[in-house]
Structure 1
Amino acid sequence: MLNNIFNFVTSNIIDYIPEQIIDFFSRKYIAGPSLSDAIKATIDLNSKGIMSTIDVLGESVVNEDQTIFFRNECIKVLETIKKESLNANLSLKPTQMGLVINKALCYENIRKIVKRAKELDNFVRIDMENSPYTTDTLKMYRLLREEFPGHVGTVLQAYLRRTVDDIERLSDKPLNIRLCKGIYIEPYKIAYKNPQLINENYIYCLEKLFSKKAYVGIATHDEKLIFHAMRLIEKYNLKTNDYEFQMLMGIGDELRDFILSKKHRLRIYVPYGKEWLSYVRRRLKENPNIIMTALGIK
């Protein structure tokens, strides 16, 4: 009960906590301000048999010059991965590439990044943001998948009511999907609110994706979902290279070790950059237990 009260209160005051305090809790969950920090973190993960996806923090860009900066930074990430021979790929956000400004601008920025990823034999994950951008993100994914098959994927969120239908709509071609619960605050008509129902829909969507022979990044820190995922992996007789588990940096180390002990592939999300504040606030809202852990309360 005390834990539930703490989580409720913390989630509602995160936006009012000073930046300096948020910074204290962020250090374990962000590689650092520069690409070199992300590379260092990735080298460490690779040495433990863990893959990474590197993310340049920043979203909701409203200036075209900023989108060019982020586009070039993403290309630099891909080129550095190649140069350093890392087991890593790239994640990016459409609003970082200009979706708020102009859809055509956003698409062309992402296309240039994915084109470079193909040249470097790598992969780009187009992250999913909140519901105003879902349809446009999936449209861009569909177009890029057609032009650069095998080099681009996107994200579906189990708490959205539309996700099961999106799987059906997208399954006319090979799918590469990161499946997560979803973190943005959405209205009832768009998203499920009951945690148990969200979990049930996650399992339902995961099985539907497996039945469509999709490659799935099973993105969760929920041990119940990981249990059911492993059950479905066995049911569908999937090979190690048919899927992967995905987790956030700095969260669930014991669960991470358990996944590895079962010989499953694991990828860790490695964010870096100066635009870290909104990312950390969102993660703390999703999981206030991070604060309790950092304070040594649990």
Structure 2
Amino acid sequence: MNILNQLIVSIVQMMPKNIVGFFSRKYIAGETLEDGIKVVKQLNAKGIYATMDVLGEAVKNKEESIDAKNKAMEVLNAIEKYKLMANLSIKPTQMGLLIDEEFAYQQILDLVKRAHEINNFVRIDMEDSSTTDMTINLYKRIYQQYKNVGVVIQAYLKRSFDDVVVLNKLGTNYRLCKGIYVEPASIAIKDRQAIRENYLKILKQMFIDGNYVGIATHDKYLIDEAYKMIREMNIPKDKFEFQMLLGVREDLRDKINSDGYKIRVYVPFGKDWYAYSVRRLKENPSIAGHIVKSFLTFGKR
């Protein structure tokens, strides 16, 4: 991130919370489950799928983690009740991974079991590198009992291709993304094009081995290359989908949808929206710049 981008993000972080909320609400469904349901219904009406996520991570105690699991369970029940074209995404640390691995395993197992009962699916998100091994091991354990669970692979980590070679043998369902956490150069690729190349290398191996892939990116270059790979390898439409964040590159989202490919949008909601907003701004300073510009324009009205 260059100096200007750092400055912009710093300015946004100093703004009143309600101002940041006003301009970042495009990227967050709201604070309540009802808000999330409303946004998912709007997406579904366009033929777009969703994955719902109750915001929050790295809980401090088991009580908070149990509360997070209960809210995630409410999401699954709502998906069933309203017949939404959606599934559930969860963060392992929100389920207590850093408190007690066995406890987190049971928490997530309960959710996957419930999802199985209603013919749905749970995506276990990947967080920073300190939790990568724990998350993969947790996924493997749950997959032994239920197949309606998937994991995330981050293309900027140097280890990811090797992880995929092993996970492919299980028939893993993936979300493949570039990666968003700040990691040291010793374990993470830093060059933008090199990350892209690794992304495509990993995607090709997933396709070769017949795995289902959520191609999660807003990078038009990667989307175009994925289109090309799908055509050249004759990948069936039931072996992949594209995935994007709520409010980001809606032009590309709509093009993918109109091209006849399945597209799923990540729909976050919850009271922890501010921490999510600031993290997304750090990842994508252009959004922060938009907020600053909007704030200045708004002040002149």
Question: Does residue 1:267 correspond to 2:253, yes or no?
Answer: no
Deviation at 1:18, TM superposition (A): 4.4
Match of 1:287 among 265, 284, 287: 284
Taking structure 2 as the reference length, the TM-score comes to: 0.93
**Cα shift at 1:13:** 5.8
Q: Are 1:52 and 1:267, in contact at CA under 8 Å, matched by a contact in 2?
A: yes
3-state secondary structure, aligned to 2:144: helix
Note if 1:155 corresponds to 2:152.
yes
Residue of structure 2 aligned with 1:209, choices 199, 206, 211: 206
Q: Does 1:104 align with 2:102?
A: yes
Instruction: Verify: 1:248 aligned to 2:239, yes or no.
Output: no
Distance, in Å, in 2 between the alignment partners of 1:52 and 1:147 is: 25
Cα-Cα RMSD = 1.7
The Cα of 1:214 is off from its aligned counterpart by: 1.0
Offset of 1:23 from its aligned partner? 1.7
Paired with 1:13 and 1:108, the residues of 2 have a C-alpha distance of: 41
Distance 2:172 2:230 in 1: 17
> 2:93 is paired with a residue of what secondary structure?
helix
- Which of 196, 200, 204 aligns to 1:199? It is 196
> Which AA in structure 1 matches 2:202?
C
Structure 1 unaligned spans of 5+: none
Q: Give the AA of the match of 1:249.
A: L
Report whether the alignment pairs 1:39 with 2:63. no
Could you tell me which residue of structure 2 aligns to residue 130 of structure 1?
Answer: 128
Aligned residues of 1:159 and 1:192 also touching (Cα < 8 A): yes
Q: How many corresponding residue pairs?
A: 294
Report the AA paired with residue 252 of structure 1. Answer: R
Deviations 1:6-57 (A, max 9, x none): 4343346665554334223321100000001000000000000000000000
Give TM-score, length-normalised by structure 1: 0.94
Output the CA distance in 2 between the equivalents of 1:10 and 1:293. 10
2:50 maps to: 52
- State which of 112, 125, 137 in structure 2 corresponds to 1:139: 137
Distance 1:14 1:165 in 2: 39
Contact 1:14 1:285 in 2 (8 A): no
- Helix, strand or coil at the partner of 2:152: strand
Structure 1 segments of 4 or more deviating over 2 A? 3-22, 291-297
Say if 1:32 and 1:272, in contact at 8 Å, map to a contact too: yes
Q: Deviations over 1:51-82 (max 9, x none)?
A: 00000000000111111111111111111101
User: Using the alignment, how far apart are the partners of 1:65 and 1:118 within structure 2?
Assistant: 25
Matched, 1:166 2:157: no
1:50–1:266 contact (8 Å) kept in structure 2: yes
Alignment-mate amino acid for residue 195 of structure 2? I
Alpha-carbon offset, residue 293 of structure 1: 3.5
CA contact (8 A) 1:11 1:286 kept: no
Structure 2, unaligned runs of 5 or more: 297-301
- SS at structure 2 position matched to 1:268: strand
Contact 2:12 2:288 in 1 (8 A): no
Percent of matched pairs sharing the same residue: 48
* Pairwise CA distance, 1:212: 1.3
